[in-house]
Structures are given as structure tokens and as C-alpha cells.
Amino acid sequence: MRNCGGAQHSSTPQNVPLEGGRCQINQLPQEILSIIFKYNIDLDNGYPQLEGLVEQDQGSDDDEASVVASEILAFQILISHVCRLWRNIVLDTPSLWTNISVTNMACLPYERVAAYLERSKSLPLDICIAGGVARLPSDEADNLEALLALLVPHLSRWASIHVTVRRYDYMHAFIKVVSGPSVPPATQLEDLRLICKSKSRSAAILEGDFLFDPTLFGGSAPLLRTLVLHAVYINWSQAWVQSAPNLQTLHLAHHERDLRPTSAILLGAPNLRILKIEESGLWDETEEPLLHLPNLLELEFRDQVPQDLTRLLRRLCTPVLKTLTLHFGAVSPQDYSDFVTQLVGPATQVMPSSIGQPCSLLRSLETLNIESLPCSPDSAEMLYRELVNLKVLKISRSYMPLFFWHLLSPWQPDTSEGMDFFAPREAQAGSIVIFLPSLKDLFLSGVPIFELPTLVIERRDAGVPLRSISMKQYYGTNRNDEVWLRDNLEKFEIIENNNEKSIEW
């Protein structure tokens, strides 16, 4: 790479020589250039890759000394080798050095991390640590210890910390170093995500004697907004866990039943917006006290025992809930009919209703994502009947009973020989049964495209037309059907995705 100030340029159409040999972009104020650099770093989703760097950026600006593997360089390192002016701007802009990512424990970029810490000055830090193999080589353990020794002294600057490892040994090491008596409070921490992908679960924890009683971050993380704990066990009674007035997102996953958090974690989070529970708590033997979440907008349940869910629902008060995700037992299903009955029943309220029975929490839903819900046909019909205000439905037919799909089409009960078993009780002879009357947008997985035109026509003719359909590619697609759908919907799209197991959009 050449110095922009006096470089010779080839006269190709892609690189026309400039008058006086001056690079016009360098005529911009340095403050503007630094903003442009920061914008490009943010395009990388916040975490530049530090591992595998082969160039020492403290060396000469000479062409031969600046040969680097640009495809593995973080953006700020790359542009610091363009010219002397850019290098000075980059090194003197602390906001370009606040994102630290280490994803290769086998070769710790010690000097790079130290440089980021120094160049970021006193600004808040966003840190990502990921690594760990099936076995625990001594060099990886030593590198993790060295990395934490670098980072922990700056704990008061942490704005976010994401740790993803494959052995609980690593996670235990992290928890231990942030819970010592000399560890300062995490006064700027807003985002904490601890994810352990170990397959041994509780056996490794118990045999490794990892169940101690630490107090993380000096017992204080007053600004915490996001907490994600996957197969990570902490002292659930810590003050910063049970009193989190700023917490907006809580995701608990893969906790052994006897080690799960209790619902007390919700009592101190009145501003919670998103709650996700996957094979985890909240585990309580009692059905009290009431769990009032006045600001909860999104609720997600995955792989939970039906009885536990039903008990939790009786305690949850979510008056403004808008989005619900359900994914249960695609491999070894249990029956969730009783859970559906609880869902469609009167919602829990803080104060008794003055106008009789309150409506179910489903009445306020605008988005429902059902990936797998084993239940009876009656339960499916009860569920759909309550969703009168639903605007968006995401459904995976690959893992759902087929009647969930059939009920999307308007239909006329056959009462010529008595009551139609599947018809609602209030249905009259000749009437059309329409579920989800407010439905506009449909997201599908595991549905052949040739079945869609019929659904679109039937709902349109019944006066409840669909606005859009987005579907994951399922086997082959018929070009004629695709053209028809694009002509008859405001939006139709096919998303290529080889993983049919999930319907994450």
C-alpha cells in the first residue's frame, strides 16, 4: 500500500491520477474521516477479529514493511496502513479501539489486546471471548488466564461482555476472576452474555466442584439491560440479579432442574421487555407471589415441561404482551393441551377486573411464532379462536400437527348430519368459520408452494386477505405458482435456508 501524500498512481480507468498527486479525501477535516472510519467498523457488527494477525502495526510505513493479510485484518488495522495521515487519525481516535474480540484461545493476540486497551483510553469496552475445544490443552488454559488478567483490571469500563466456551472449566475460570473480593463494581456494564456449550451439563459441574457461591462484579451492575445465561450457574440470590431495574432482556437456557433460578429473578425487573426461557427456570414449588411484568412485549418458551409452564403462566401478569414464541418437543413430544387451555383462559391480573372475566393474554398478541406445539385438534382451534388481533403468524409445518395449517383456511361446517366435531359451538348452518381475522403476514417453513394459492384465494374471498407470505424454500418451487403469488400479494419471498429445523426470521 502506498502513502497517499505522494504516491505514484497507475493511469488505469479505475485509478486516474489526481492533480498535484494529492488525495482529495484527505482534504476532509480529520473529525469527518474519523466518523467515516467508525461507521465502517460498526458495519462489522461490533467485533473485529483479532486472531491470526501477522503484521506488527507498530513498524514502518514503508511498502515492503506493510505487507499484510488484509482479509484477516480488523478494519482499523487495515486503514492504519494506508498512509501516514490515516494512521495518525486512527491511532488518535479512541472510539475505534473499543471493540475487542478473541475467538482463538490457542493463539492469544496478547499485544493486540493490550494495544486496544491502551488506545481506547477511558471509553467503555465491548468484549467478545469465544473458544475452547473438547479437551483442555494447557496452552489454551494459560492463554485464557492471561487474557482475563489483561481485561479484568478494566472491568469498570466494560459496557458488554460476551463469553462463549465449550467447557465449563473456561466459564468457571471467568466467573472466578470477576467475583474476587478486589473486583470493582461493573458500573458501566449493560450487556452480559455467558454461554457454555458443554454437553456434559451438571455432571461436569458437580464432579468439577464448580458450585461455589460467588458474588460477581462486587455485587453491583446497576446499568445491566441484557442478561443471557446458557448452561451457566451463578448465585441466583445476588443483589445485582434480584434487583435489576434497568434489565430489559433476560434469556435463560439449559439449566438442570435442581440448579435452576427461581422466579425471584423477575421480581426485581419491572422494566423487562423480552423474556426467553429454554429448558430452564423459573423453578418454584409455589404459585406465589404474582409476577407482574407491566412492560413485557416478547415472551418465548422452548422445551419446557408442560406442568411447569402452566404453573408459571398462572403467576405471570403481562398486560402489554405482543409477541409469543412456542417450541416444544419436536423430538420426543409431550402433550401441551393443558398448557393451551391455560393460555386461552382468563389472563392473570394485578387487580380483579371490574367488568367480569378478563380476556386471555392471547387477545393482545400481534405476532405468534409456533415451531412445535404437540396438542389436540380442539386445543389448536381454541388457540386460534383467541387470536383475534394477531397480525403476524410464523409457523413450521415440518414439526407441527397438520390441523394447525388446515385451520388457516376459512371453512364451512357440515351440519347436514348433526354437529361437525371440529366446528366451533356457535357455528350455524351455512356460516363460514374464519380464524385469525386480522392476520396479514405469514411466515412459513415446510410448506409446498403449490398449496399457497388456494389459501390466498380462500382468505381473500372470505374478506380476510393476506398481505404477504415469506417462506423458506421447501423442495422444488413451481415458477407459475411463484409468479401468481407475487401478482396477488403485496409481498412474496422465498428464503433459501438449508436448516428446516428452525424458523428464526
Rounded mean pLDDT of 209-230?
Answer: 83
pLDDT in tens, 224-271: 999 999 988 888 888 888 888 999 999 999 888 777 888 888 888 999
pLDDT in tens, 168-208: 878 888 888 898 788 889 999 999 999 988 766 554 455 44
Instruction: Write down the domain spans for the chain.
Output: 25-43+73-96, 99-200+208-284, 322-349+358-413, 440-498
162: confidence class by pLDDT, cuts 50, 70, 90? very high
Alpha carbon distance 434, 279 (integer Å):
35
How many beta carbons lie within 10 A of that of residue 450, not counting itself?
A: 12
Residue 2 has pLDDT above 60, yes or no: no
Residue 304 has pLDDT above 70, yes or no: yes
pTM score above 0.85:
no
User: If phi over 0 gives left and psi between -120 and 50 gives alpha, with beta otherwise, what is residue 299?
Assistant: beta
Q: What pLDDT does 182 receive?
A: 84
Give residue 194's Cα distance to chain centre.
13
Q: What pLDDT does 53 receive?
A: 31
136 vs 109: which has the higher pLDDT: 109
Residue 367 has pLDDT above 90, yes or no: yes
Contact assessment for residue 38 and residue 118, using Cβ atoms and an 8 Å cutoff: no
Residue 472 has pLDDT above 50, yes or no: yes
Give residue 50's Cα distance to chain centre.
24
Rounded mean pLDDT of 468-478?
Answer: 79
Handedness of CA 163, 169, 174, 179 (dihedral sign): positive
Q: What are the cell numbers at 33?
A: 474521516
Backbone angles phi, psi at 100, to 5 degrees: -115, 125
Contact assessment for residue 169 and residue 137, using Cβ atoms and an 8 Å cutoff: no
351: confidence class by pLDDT, cuts 50, 70, 90? low
Report the DSSP beta bridge partners of residue 394: 369, 443
Query: Among 41-45, 181-185, 199-203, 485-489, whose mean pLDDT is lowest?
Result: 199-203
Alpha carbon distance 209, 35 (integer Å):
49
Longest dimension (CA), the chain: 93
Contact assessment for residue 361 and residue 321, using Cβ atoms and an 8 Å cutoff: yes
